[in-house]
Structure 1
Amino acid sequence: MIGKGGNNGLKTRIAVFSDVHGNLSAFEAMYQDSLKQGVDQYWFVGDLLMPGPSVQKVWCLFEKMNPAVVVRGNWDDLVVRGARGLMDVDKPSHVYFARLAQYVDRHAPAGMIDNLASWPLHVTKQVGALNFGISHNLPQLNMGQDLFPTKPTVNFDRLFQLPGSQPVDVAIYAHVHHQLLRYANDERIILNPGAVGEPFNHWSGLQRDLRAHYLVLEVDDTGLAETSFRHVNYDRTAEIDRAQSDAIPYAQLYQRMMKTGLAYTHDDELLTRFNRQYGYADEYQRFAAEKLRQAD
């Protein structure tokens, strides 16, 4: 374990991040800030790509960071299923995921899709005196809203319900795009780093903060020496321009999200309009048929 010495012996500084969602501008800003924070290692808590445009550059930076912990998010699953031609187009949101995954497949470096598919849902990691449990959402379920920040504490107790003899002291999850520190009913700690690429809050006064959100932890021989929720400015205009220059599907929606911070994933009326205008369902079905032929 890499670390720095001090009054409490070995110290390890960890940048915990998640929900990049293909936003290269935010990801680069978060990475540069993490270097200034003197982190020793990175933990990634899922959802690397989509709907942002910069597939190859995001993947290159991710590999450069070489996270010591990686878990698979629900959008990582969508990338894999969509890129392999396995998505249905029964709902407007399914077309949205599928067509974006088709774009990822076209720009993906060799082996990237298989790499994402191999990521585990849950990892335990011992650092100093503490045992961390890391998952995108629940340990065996990387989707759903059971762990939305306002849900009852009993829901969060499920983060610690794991097989094995060594108990988890601190649970880390992501998925809900909210930074969080709270306690389980037995007072074990639960942390969420927030979203690098798509932070969100229903309260308008807090929704204005669209900086790249992530978490820095310092762990020493005693326990958590520092818990720092970081918010990093970046050039959102540059990200808007990338969506246009890279000709990503649903570019207008991504550009709108960069301005408002709001996602349009489940706006069926809006997605239906885009899907019909650009023929996205038919385009993906042709792609899927070709993928299945290649697999035979």
Structure 2
Amino acid sequence: MKTRIAVFSDVHGNLSALQAMYQDSLKQGVDQYWFIGDLLMPGPSVTRVWKLFEKMNPAVVVRGNWDDLVVRGARGLMDLDKPSHVYFARLAQYVARHASVQVIDSIANWPMHVTKQVGPLNFGISHNLPNLNMGQALFPTQSTSNFDKLFQVKTDQPVDVAIYAHVHHELLRYSNDERIILNPGAVGEPFNHWQPLQRDLRAHYLILEIDDRGMAETSFRHVAYDRTVESDRAKTDAIPYAELYQLMMKTGLAYTHDQDLLARYNKKYNYADEYRQFAQEKLK
């Protein structure tokens, strides 16, 4: 008995990339989907991304750090201490305008860590560490001892294969005791510091085929799509920071932590005051 699984993460609101990945997965004959976190923001297509996500109906879902930002921001709970916090908050306000309270509540209830038995293997699945969905502990160049923490979870039986996301790099490596660690890469925002690899901005995801012996196939897929179409959506849908999203579609670089650049946009468009007014109304 074989099961083909499409493992995907880090969509970040990029509808064009998600559509391309989904169509490719259909051609590959997958049986189910596993989503490893960060569905929305900073991309514009909130409603259409959510509808396609529901259509895919993932058998596994875990909550990423941007999913937490969506929830906190949409509920009016985001602090504005740094320009990047204003960025997250104003984008989450946009999500709240296009998504129902039920959608936000659904995201809030996604678990941080899931174990899933398929064939003879037990998979441990989290966005980053099992109990922490943020930080750089699992950046690909980190020590193997950091990755061993993916297996330090209380389960009825040991985890054989760990899958995480978050760092936007596809990856296959081993723990110190030679258990397998996988990362599907990013659908919406693939990233690599090595420039020749960074140029590959196709939608990245992973297909696993599991049979009675174990993993019969591990296929890292890169699917092309029209980034100009995605760029145009940012302007058409009037998303906050549309210029930055369009720039990201050209360069493949995110500007999330460029505090000076974000501060200029926040001042130009009065984003902090817009969010404060939104938060006051939400918290009445």
Query: Which bin holds the TM-score, normalised by the shorter protein?
Result: over 0.9
Choose from 197, 204, 217 the match for 2:208. Answer: 217
The alignment yields a C-alpha RMSD, in angstroms, of 0.5
Give the letter for the 1:13 counterpart.
R
Runs of at least 4 residues off by over 4 Å: none
Indicate the residue corresponding to 1:256 in structure 2.
247
Runs of 5+ consecutive residues of structure 2 not aligned to the other structure: none
Identity %: 81
In the superposition, the TM-score normalised over structure 1's length comes to 0.95
Deviations 1:91-137 (A, max 9, x none): 00000000000000000145100000000000000000000000000
- Distance in 2 between residues matched to 1:109 and 1:254, nearest whole Å: 24
- Distance in 2 between residues matched to 1:69 and 1:165, nearest whole Å: 18
- Distance in 2 between residues matched to 1:165 and 1:239, nearest whole Å: 44
Give the letter for the 1:219 counterpart.
I
Indicate the residue corresponding to 1:63 in structure 2.
54
Give the letter for the 1:179 counterpart.
E
Indicate the residue corresponding to 2:138 in structure 1.
147
Structure 1 residue 86: Cα displacement = 0.2
The reply to whether residue 11 of structure 1 matches residue 5 of structure 2 is no
Q: Secondary structure at the match of 1:234?
A: coil
- Distance in 1 between residues matched to 2:78 and 2:235, nearest whole Å: 25
- Distance in 2 between residues matched to 1:198 and 1:92, nearest whole Å: 21
The reply to whether residue 196 of structure 1 matches residue 193 of structure 2 is no
- Distance in 2 between residues matched to 1:170 and 1:204, nearest whole Å: 30
Indicate the residue corresponding to 1:40 in structure 2.
31
Structure 1 residue 164: Cα displacement = 2.8
Structure 1 residue 163: Cα displacement = 1.2
Runs of 5+ consecutive residues of structure 1 not aligned to the other structure: 1-9
Indicate the residue corresponding to 1:170 in structure 2.
161
Structure 1 residue 249: Cα displacement = 0.1
Indicate the residue corresponding to 1:25 in structure 2.
16
Q: Secondary structure at the match of 1:26?
A: helix
- Distance in 2 between residues matched to 1:109 and 1:213, nearest whole Å: 29
The reply to whether residue 286 of structure 1 matches residue 238 of structure 2 is no
Structure 1 residue 165: Cα displacement = 3.3
Q: How many residues align?
A: 284
Give the letter for the 2:62 counterpart.
V
- Distance in 1 between residues matched to 2:229 and 2:102, nearest whole Å: 28
Give the letter for the 1:204 counterpart.
Q
- Distance in 1 between residues matched to 2:155 and 2:38, nearest whole Å: 27
Indicate the residue corresponding to 1:93 in structure 2.
84
Q: Is the Cα contact below 8 Å between 1:56 and 1:109 reproduced in 2?
A: no
Give the letter for the 2:132 counterpart.
L
The reply to whether residue 156 of structure 1 matches residue 147 of structure 2 is yes
- Distance in 1 between residues matched to 2:80 and 2:152, nearest whole Å: 35
Deviations 1:164-186 (A, max 9, x none): 33100000000000000000000
- Distance in 2 between residues matched to 1:28 and 1:109, nearest whole Å: 22
Mapping for residues 230-245 of structure 1, pairs under 5 Å:
230-245=221-236
Q: Secondary structure at the match of 1:57?
A: helix
- Distance in 1 between residues matched to 2:241 and 2:50, nearest whole Å: 21
Choose from 165, 173, 179 the match for 1:182. Answer: 173
- Distance in 2 between residues matched to 1:131 and 1:165, nearest whole Å: 10
- Distance in 1 between residues matched to 2:144 and 2:259, nearest whole Å: 32
